[in-house]
Amino acid sequence: MRSPEVADAIPALIQNGLLSPPVAVAPLRVARGELLSVRGELRAVLYIGVLLLVAGVSLLVKENLDRIGPVTIAVAIGLAAVGCLAWALHRAPAFRWGMAESTDWTFDFLLLLGILLLGADLAFVEAKFTPLGANWSYHLLVMSLVTGAFAVRGDSRLCWSLALSSFAAWRGIAATRLGSELLGPSQTPLRINLILCGLVFVALGLALRRFDRKAHLEPLTTFCGALATLGGLGLFALDESGAWIPWAVIFLVASVVLAFLALRSRRFGLFALGAVAAYFATTQLVFKVVREPFLGCFWFSGSSVGMIVLLFLVQRRFRAAAQEGHE
């Protein structure tokens, strides 16, 4: 990023003997805008490449299933997954409970590729040989635990998010099946399960920070938990066939509390999530209490602009506070 102030300061640091000329070359070129980082673009290309590779494997299996045979395909995908995961373990940084990110910026994506291939292999085996039968959703639980273990071992936020989403998907399928058996086509078990799953994630995040075990994964875990919890409450609040008013109030209170706590801890992502959720809850209550379509134009035009301004001001305040802290 171009920074004239830094470019002017570096020669003075060299003159005062605080910075040696060889060391100053790289930061000086960056400050002058002569060097540009493409790390973000390369990571995006790698991520897309991993997804395209997994999609290509799926098409290959589909087109050649009868010719190759299911056993051969299952073994081949499994060996490819084991190869990627073995390479990832070999290149992984030494394990520690603190941050231990790999210096190899391709590590995350090859680890992700191995996990996705392993998940695809398990899904293929389940579809063709049905070893779990009606309990096929348990392979999501297995993948969640395996992915979580690799994420902790390799200190991968990308794989950690995949582990959390796989666990939530497993609970969602289990809740839907249980609800269909007990209550018929009701969405109540799914919503309750979503709330409980979110609370579990929040508790896990608090435990990571409390016991200082991969504490840098706590923000992602807490955000996923808050998102799932508010999502379940929001589904109850939007369902007008039930007692939606108490749920809308609970949804609003939970959103405001989340925004307040995030404001105190200077977490913009959580604050934005709580603020937007509170906006939706307030909109739901306002439109049900004031049944006047004409007022909707004023409400949306004013409240949406106000929400954007609020998020902008809070984000700028957080950024200023972070800069002051670095100084």
If you ran DSSP here, which 8-state letter would residue 93 be given?
P
Provide the pLDDT for residue 292.
64
141 has pLDDT over 60? yes
- For residue 30, what are the CA distances in angstroms to 35, 104, 137, 251? 5, 22, 50, 47
How far apart (Å, rounded) are the C-alpha atoms in residues 198 and 179? 19
Residues 120 and 55: beta-carbon distance below 8 Å: no
Name which of 74, 88, 103 is nearest 149 in CA terms: 88
Task: Return the pLDDT at 82.
Answer: 93
pLDDT of residue 313: 92
Q: Are residues 82 and 209 in the same domain?
A: no
pLDDT of 275 strictly over 80: yes
Asked whether residue 179 is assigned to any structural domain, the reply reads: no
CB count within 10 Å of CB 208 equals 20
pLDDT of 19 higher than 50: yes
Residues 188 and 314 in one domain: yes
Looking at the domain assignment, is residue 176 inside a domain?
no
- Does 141 or 288 have the greater pLDDT score? 141
In a domain, 225, yes or no: yes
Same domain, 198 and 227: yes
pLDDT of res. 302: 79
- Show the beta-strand stretches assigned E in the chain: none
Question: DSSP 3-state assignment of 16?
Answer: coil
Residues 90 and 60 in one domain: yes
* Nearest-angstrom CA–CA distance, 239 and 258: 22
Residue 164 inside a domain? The answer is yes
Judgement on whether residues 126 and 214 belong to the same structural domain of the protein: no
Residue 177 maps to a domain: no
Q: Is 265 domain-assigned?
A: yes
What pLDDT score does 267 carry?
93
E-assigned strand segments in 131-211: none
Q: What is the radius of gyration, based on Cα positions, of the chain?
A: 25
Of 136, 169, 202, the one marking the end of a domain is 169
Residue 189 sits in the same domain as residue 324: yes
192 and 317 co-located in one domain? yes
Under 8 Å between Cβ of 236 and 191: yes
204 and 321 share a domain? Answer: yes
Give the model confidence (pLDDT) of 198-246 as tens digits. Answer: 999 999 999 999 999 999 999 999 999 999 999 999 988 888 776 788 8
Average pLDDT of the residues in 25-35: 63
Q: Lowest mean pLDDT: which of 22-36, 247-261, 276-290, 302-316? A: 22-36
Residue 71 CA from chain centroid, whole number: 34
CA dihedral 181→183→186→190, nearest 10 degrees, is -70
Q: Are 179 and 187 in contact (CB under 8 A)?
A: yes
- What does pTM read for this prediction? 0.81
Q: Percentage of residues in the chain with pLDDT exceeding 90?
A: 34
The answer, yes or no, to whether residue 148 has pLDDT greater than 90, is yes
Whether 54 and 1 share a structural domain: no
- pLDDT given for residue 102 in this prediction: 65
Distance (Å, rounded) from C-alpha 237 to C-alpha 246? 8
* Separation between Cα atoms, residue 67 and residue 61, nearest integer Å: 10
pLDDT of residue 177: 65
Taking only the tens place, the pLDDT of each residue in 72-127 is 888 999 999 999 999 888 888 888 888 876 666 678 888 999 999 999 898 888 88
Query: Taking 70 as the threshold, does the pLDDT of residue 38 lie above it?
Result: no
Higher-pLDDT residue of 147, 91 = 147
Same domain, 148 and 198: no
Tens digit of each residue's pLDDT (9 = 90 or more) over 162-204: 999 999 989 888 777 655 544 445 678 888 889 999 999 999 9
In this structure, what are the phi and psi dihedrals at residue 115, rounded to the nearest 5 degrees? -70, -40
44 plus 22 within the same structural domain: no
Reference 224, options 105, 118, 144, 306; nearest CA is 144
For residue 29, being part of any structural domain is answered with yes
Residue 61, domain member (yes or no) = yes
Last residue of a domain, one of 169, 196, 213: 169
Sign of CA dihedral 56, 62, 67, 71: positive
Task: Domain of residue 219: give its range.
Answer: 184-327
Are 196 and 309 in the same domain? Answer: yes
CA distance 104 to 124: 31
165, 192 contact by CB (below 8 A): no
Q: What's the CA angle centered on 75, arms 74 and 80, to 5 degrees? A: 100
Res 3: pLDDT = 59
Q: Enumerate residues 6+ apart whose C-beta is below 8 A from 32.
A: 2, 7
Number of compact structural domains in the chain? 3
CB 154 within 8 A of CB 88: yes
